[in-house]
Amino acid sequence: MIANNSEKTSWDAVLAEFKRIWGYDSFRSPQGEIVRSLLDQQDALIVLPTGVNNSLLSKIFIVNNNKL
């Protein structure tokens, strides 16, 4: 688990968990920018074409029990 509800999750913690679960060293563009904006608690409307691994973005939050 990355963080609890009282802690702000760091970018480094997200990358470490991302590598641990999926084995990747970094997000593809624009995935990283999307995750960073959500970590900064910015509102976001994300529209991605098929084939950019959209489901991975939602899964990283689900896997961590909505604690990002």
The domains of the chain are located at 11-63
Note if the pTM is more than 0.75. no
Cα–Cα distances in angstroms (integers) from residue 1 to residues 18, 25, 44, in the given order: 11, 18, 24
Q: Quote the mean pLDDT of the chain.
A: 76
pLDDT at residue number 53? 65
- Most confident range (mean pLDDT) of 3-12, 32-41, 44-53, 58-67 is 32-41
Cα–Cα distances in angstroms (integers) from residue 68 to residues 24, 25, 29, 49, 60, in the given order: 18, 19, 20, 24, 9
pLDDT at residue number 6? 46
pLDDT bin (cut points 50, 70, 90) of residue 63 is low
The mean per-residue pLDDT over the stretch 32-39 comes to 87
